[in-house]
Amino acid sequence: MKLRLGPLPAAKPLRLTITISVELKAALDDYARLHADLHGQAVTPETLIPVMLQTFMVNDRGFQQARRDRK
Going from the C-alpha of 61 to that of each of 4, 16, 51, the distances in angstroms are 17, 25, 17
User: What per-residue confidence (pLDDT) applies to 59?
Assistant: 92
pLDDT of residue 36: 95
Is-contact 28 45, C-beta < 8 A? Answer: yes
The alpha carbons of the chain give a radius of gyration, in whole angstroms, of 14
Q: What are the structural domain ranges in the chain?
A: 22-70
pTM here is: 0.77
pLDDT < 50 positions in the chain: none
Give residue 9's pLDDT: 78
Quote the pLDDT of residue 28. Answer: 97
d(CA 54, CA 43): 17
Q: Which residues contact 6 (CB under 8 A, 6 or more apart)?
A: 39
CA distance 59 to 15: 24
